[in-house]
Amino acid sequence: MKAGTLVTVLLLATMPSMAMAMCFKGHAEEQITMSCPEGQVFDTETNSCITPTG
């Protein structure tokens, strides 16, 4: 197999994984926030859901 063909196959095989990794980057905080019950927010200091005061 030629080197160019091998590189092309490797790129095509890894592109979906790279796209998925780029898509999920930075969404962890949103997913944690969305998992809190309604009326509560995620507190990054305590890593838990709290009821906002004032």
pLDDT 10s digits, 14-52: 888 877 777 666 655 555 545 788 899 888 898 889 999
Is there a contact between 42 and 36 (Cβ–Cβ < 8 Å)?
yes
Q: What's this model's pTM, rounded to 2 decimal places? A: 0.36
Per-residue pLDDT, 35: 77
Domain residue spans of the chain? 3-50
How far, rounded to the nearest angstrom, does the alpha carbon of residue 38 sit from its chain's CA centroid? 22
Q: What is the pLDDT of residue 16?
A: 82
pLDDT at 33: 47
What number of CA atoms fall less than 13 Å from residue 12's CA on the CB side?
Answer: 6
